[in-house]
Structure 1
């Protein structure tokens, strides 16, 4: 295992960020190359735990000559966010200096312009340097996995329709409960990688990208960080890498994804109409039908008619739920994956900021 560091100078004197990158060299140049990162949202660490155990397995595989394709891993991809503590709470999703999401505003470029990402880096602030260097490393691979988690959540993934259904092997290997098929219309990390591949020749768009994959994997909820889960997920990624021929393991047999795969237009984003205390009546993983009571919001405690009921707009699977129990008006409460499009028109891009 080769270990190097991406060094990012801070925007104030005396500050420097160091990001370790692990590389496992494959012995077959014809085999696809893999890049995996975790904790781009620095407070989402199930992926960091997963990669800790996966690296352990990869070191053993390296010692026996079982790695066919190059594998590059960044277990903690955001040292800037990891250092942001506000009144004792880690703030890993947004850069406190620029107020931008660490997983938004990645450059939308053609693959042929990859090297431009790291030219004249000094003219960019630290967060943009981080994004550009991560993207430059990732575009040297064929398969790119960005490991995140949700709030309270099932295991699921955002996968661009350009990679589906080929990517169903990843969903099966990780025993995902659902796949949300995205349109590739945002500046999030995995969609910026897909954009570069789709527009490898500027002005010419590839609708399907065989042999490529760029995906956001949501490893359950933010507090689902346990050794048995991390080890099971590491085994899942091992199965995926073996099925794709990146590592040699004849004991692995492919499995089939059995969960729903629905476009983002079919996701019901359940939001709170008013601020208040949330009483949930349904949990993640439950199938609901139209009209089922999902939650009660206590808006005026102690008052007659001081609560609001929230009901399911259609049938579907509850994929995520907020962990907050005191919410603001228009706060996201749940995502429900449905077989039919939502009645609310969605803007192109991500479901949440």
Structure 2
């Protein structure tokens, strides 16, 4: 195993950021190569815990000669966000300087333009250098996994339709309860990688066999437990074994049985008015159109001071907000539905 660091100089004197990188050299040039990173949103830590335990297993596999494909692991990809705190709370999702999401505004380049990402990089801001360096590193691999988590959430993934259903093996290995089929139209890390994979030259490819770029949502922010992380690490190991990245004769392929729905089928349940949130339904429950999801206490103490929030469609509650006070328009839930929930969704991601 090679342990190195990516060093990002700060935008003010005396500061630099260090990103640990672990690399394993494969013994089979025909095996797929893999890039896995976690905590690009620095306060989303289930993936960091998973990779800690996966690295233990990979080190043993290296000793046993079982690493077939090249593997790059970045367990904590965003030290800039990790250092941001505001009144005692880590602010790991947005860069406090530009107010930009750390998982947005990745450059969109074709695969053959990979090296342009590093041109004049020293003249760019630290956050831009971070994004370009991570993207450049990932584009050297065949399979790219970006590990995130939601708020209160089931295990699910965002997967571009260009990689589906080939990526069903990942969904099965990680026991995902839902897959959101994305359109590849945002500038998030996973979709910037997919953009490059689909543009090798000439027309955009509708399928890219042998390639993968995916955002894995490892349940919720508070789901950071040793047994859970070890179980997820074992699932990711099964995926790597199935793809031939590591040698494991005990691996048995599994079938994904959960729903795979396009983003147009995701109902974003939002607060129509501000108020205290009383949830009646939890993640993992199936609901019917009209079912009561939450009550908002909009005017505490008043006889007419509550407002019911109901489901617009049948479906599976995939995520729920952990906040118990909502501003008008705040997201309360995501429901994976059996039909399109609206025709006015903008291309790209569901949330900022």
TM-score range, shorter chain: over 0.9
Secondary structure of 2:128's counterpart equals helix
Specify every segment of 5 or more residues in structure 2 that has no aligned partner in the other structure, as ranges: none
Q: Deviations over 1:285-307 (max 9, x none)?
A: 00001110000111110112111
User: Which whole-Å CA distance do the structure 2 matches of 1:104 and 1:90 have between them?
Assistant: 19
1:301-312 equivalence runs, <5 A: 301-312=300-311
Q: TM-score, normalised by structure 2?
A: 0.99
Q: Which residue of 2 aligns with 1:278?
A: 277
User: Which whole-Å CA distance do the structure 2 matches of 1:125 and 1:48 have between them?
Assistant: 25
Say whether residues 1:250 and 2:249 are aligned partners.
yes
Q: Is 319-328 or 299-308 further displaced after alignment?
A: 299-308
User: Which whole-Å CA distance do the structure 2 matches of 1:327 and 1:11 have between them?
Assistant: 35
Q: Which residue of 2 aligns with 1:20?
A: 20
Q: Deviations over 1:313-353 (max 9, x none)?
A: 01000000000001110000000001100035211000000
Q: Which residue of 2 aligns with 1:265?
A: 264
Specify every segment of 5 or more residues in structure 1 that has no aligned partner in the other structure, as ranges: none
Q: Which residue of 2 aligns with 1:231?
A: 230
Q: Which residue of 2 aligns with 1:293?
A: 292
Q: 1:59: Cα distance to partner?
A: 0.1
Q: Deviations over 1:39-88 (max 9, x none)?
A: 00000000000000000000000001000000000000000000001111
User: Which whole-Å CA distance do the structure 1 matches of 2:314 and 2:117 have between them?
Assistant: 44
The runs of 4+ residues in structure 1 deviating greater than 4 Å are none
Q: Deviations over 1:217-236 (max 9, x none)?
A: 00000000000000000000
User: Which whole-Å CA distance do the structure 2 matches of 1:343 and 1:199 have between them?
Assistant: 30
Q: 1:171: Cα distance to partner?
A: 0.0
User: Which whole-Å CA distance do the structure 2 matches of 1:154 and 1:89 have between them?
Assistant: 24
User: Which whole-Å CA distance do the structure 2 matches of 1:344 and 1:136 have between them?
Assistant: 35
User: Which whole-Å CA distance do the structure 2 matches of 1:119 and 1:235 have between them?
Assistant: 39
Say whether residues 1:83 and 2:78 are aligned partners.
no
Secondary structure of 2:130's counterpart equals helix
Q: Deviations over 1:166-186 (max 9, x none)?
A: 000000000000000000000
Q: Is 336-345 or 155-164 further displaced after alignment?
A: 336-345
Q: 1:118: Cα distance to partner?
A: 1.1
Q: TM-score, normalised by structure 1?
A: 0.99
User: Which whole-Å CA distance do the structure 2 matches of 1:165 and 1:198 have between them?
Assistant: 16
Q: Which residue of 2 aligns with 1:186?
A: 186
User: Which whole-Å CA distance do the structure 2 matches of 1:149 and 1:323 have between them?
Assistant: 13
Q: How many residues align?
A: 352
Secondary structure of 1:54's counterpart equals helix
Q: 1:199: Cα distance to partner?
A: 1.4
Secondary structure of 2:108's counterpart equals coil
Secondary structure of 2:334's counterpart equals strand
Q: Which residue of 2 aligns with 1:321?
A: 320
Q: 1:3: Cα distance to partner?
A: 0.8
Q: Which residue of 2 aligns with 1:350?
A: 349
Q: Which residue of 2 aligns with 1:151?
A: 151
Q: Which residue of 1 aligns with 2:142?
A: 142
Q: Deviations over 1:245-279 (max 9, x none)?
A: 10000001000101000000000000000111000
Secondary structure of 1:220's counterpart equals strand
Q: Which residue of 2 aligns with 1:61?
A: 61
